[in-house]
A and B are shown apart, each in its own frame.
Chain A
Amino acid sequence: MMWTITLKIARYKPGEPARTDTFQVSIDPERTVLDSIEKIWAEQDRSLVFRHACHHASCGSCAMVVNGVEILPCIKLIKDVTKPGGTLIIEPLHNFPVISDLVVDMGPFFERMQIVKMPIVGPADPLPNQEPNEYNRFDDCIECGMCLSACPVVATDSKYLGPAALAAAYQILSSGDGNLSAQAWEAVDGEHGLWRCHVAFECSAVCPSNVDPAGKIMALRRRMTVERIRHLLGLGSSKKKREK
């Protein structure tokens, strides 16, 4: 069984006005959205630019916005997002500079992760000069950027640290003896840090890897509030290890 569906794809090439191209493609509904885009690239328009690698939701590189919601097209089946004769509106991630068509510059994501010193690439085992408990990577996060794209606050405040980096900060603080640098603290606990979140939970709704950034932001908020109240009451830090 094949479905004929329409894909309206946002197109942009540097120096040219943005436009929307409409393609029709005949495809098995059990195949993925990424398959349909690859089919268009192979059969209809070789200038269509999109990024992909693993095809199984572990690299996070193909993330895009389909019918208004961030998805990983490599694991999203056609039958789950449309119907026979249906239309898919395909856009690059929001809140990132577009390089070409569906490919965005992931800089804003990695710059934020760098602020909290959460390395994107790290060895699985500790290096000789690392403490055994030191985190090398942000657990579960596949660095797809979908949380930043879905967040309504990031849409207007480019200074907001955003879901991924705040969740990473929470993980660092929750690790063995983790703490943040002064610069990271300023970013996490400042005006454009965790207090800027307005609890839309859209980051957690779209996260393909169960990181639950919003849940971690709330946990971080609770922790900061409890610490501040303890500080005001003169009880000191709730975690002795953080006084070092």
Chain B
Amino acid sequence: MEPRNQRRGGLGWFGQAVSGVLLLILLGLHMIAHHFVVEGGLRTYQDVLNYIRQPLVATVELIFLVVVSFHAMLGLRAVLFDLGLNTVQEKWVTRGVTILGMVMVAYGIWLTITLVSQV
């Protein structure tokens, strides 16, 4: 085989496929737990707080946020790469979606901690 270090094109596709399959499960759970089994379709403020304070729920929601952010940013990157960007632009797109994804996850963690610690 030829050197692999120059060829990483497949990693993105593989990551997208794996995260996509995970999302089928996680998003399905999220939709059912948050909307379809809840009376009125949306939890009220107090219900959200009670719900997110369960460690298992908070963990699954945060895993969901990480996977959905990863999948969304990788997808956005793929769409932007389809524009036939030059190498410098590609580097900036990769940096941009990485930072955006990290901000989304950090925000989710902050929001969870804020809600859990709210009186």
| Interface positions of A (Cβ within 8 A of B) | 153, 156-160, 180, 182, 185-186, 189-196, 198, 221, 224-225, 227-228, 231, 237, 242-243
Are A186 and B7 closer than 8 Å at their CB atoms?
yes
B40 contacts partner chain A, Cβ-Cβ < 8 Å: no
Verify B9–A157 contact, CB threshold 8 A.
no
State which of A156, A190, A243 has its C-beta within 8 Å of the C-beta of B9. Answer: A190
Kindly provide the distance from the CB of A189 to the nearest chain B CB, expressed in whole angstroms. 4
B42 to chain A, nearest CB (A): 35
Q: Which residues of A contact B90 (CB under 8 A)?
A: 191
| CB-based nearest A residue for B14 | A225
Decide if B84 is an interface residue (CB 8 Å cutoff). Answer: yes
Residue B1 at the chain A interface, CB threshold 8 Å: yes
With beta carbons under 8 angstroms apart, the residue of A153, A160, A186, A225 that contacts B6 is A186
For the complex, what is the distance from the CA of A191 to the CA of B78, rounded to whole Å?
A: 9
Chain B residues within CB distance 8 Å of chain A: 1-4, 6-10, 12-14, 78, 81-84, 90
How many Å from the CB of A1 to the closest CB on chain B?
47
Contact of B84 with A156 in the complex, beta carbons under 8 Å:
yes
Task: Name B2's closest neighbour in chain A (CB-CB).
Answer: A185
Query: Do the beta carbons of A228 and B10 come within 8 Å of each other?
Result: yes
Residue of B nearest to A180 (CB): B2
Q: Are B1 and A237 in contact (CB under 8 A)?
A: yes
A196 and B14: CB pair below 8 A? no
B6 pairs with A190, CB closer than 8 A? yes
- In Å, the complex CA distance between A243 and B1 comes to 6
State the CA gap A212–B9 with chains docked (Å). 22
Which chain A positions have C-beta within 8 A of B4? 231
Which residues of chain B have C-beta atoms less than 8 A from A198's C-beta? 78, 82
Which among A157, A225, A231 is the interface contact of B83 at CB below 8 angstroms?
A157
Write out the residue numbers on chain B whose beta carbons fall within 8 Å of the beta carbon of A231.
Answer: 4
| Pair A153/B82 contact, Cβ less than 8 Å | yes
* Known contacts A180-B2, A182-B2, A242-B1, A195 near B84 by CB under 8 Å: no
B81 and A228 form a contact (CB under 8 A): no
A160–B85 CA distance with the chains assembled, in angstroms: 11
B3–A195 CB distance below 8 A: no
A159 touches which of B1, B6, B84 (Cβ 8 Å): B84
Q: Could you tell me the distance between the alpha carbons of A196 and B9 in the complex, rounded to whole angstroms? A: 8
**Whose C-beta in chain B lies nearest to the C-beta of A227?**
B1
Tell me which of B2, B3, B9 contacts A191 (CB under 8 A). B9
Please give the distance in Å from A148's CB to the nearest CB on chain B. Answer: 14
Specify which chain A residues have a CB less than 8 angstroms from the CB of B2 in the assembled complex.
180, 182, 185-186
> Which chain B residues lie closer than 8 Å to A189 at the CB level?
7, 9-10
Task: Report the bound CA distance from A237 to B14 in whole Å.
Answer: 19
Taking the closest CB of chain A, its distance from the CB of B91, in whole angstroms, is 11
Closest CB in chain A relative to B32 CB, distance in Å: 29
When distances are taken between beta carbons in the complex, the residues of chain B under 8 Å from A159 are 84
Closest 9 pairs between A and B when the two form their complex, measured CB to CB = A157-B84, A189-B7, A195-B9, A185-B2, A195-B13, A190-B9, A191-B9, A182-B2, A158-B84
- Residues of A within 8 Å of B12, CB to CB, are 191, 195
Chain B residue with Cβ nearest A191: B9
Q: List, sorted by A's number, 18 A–B pairs whose CB atoms are closer than 8 Å.
A: A157-B81, A157-B83, A158-B84, A180-B2, A182-B3, A185-B2, A186-B2, A186-B6, A189-B10, A190-B6, A190-B8, A191-B8, A192-B9, A192-B81, A195-B9, A195-B12, A196-B9, A231-B4
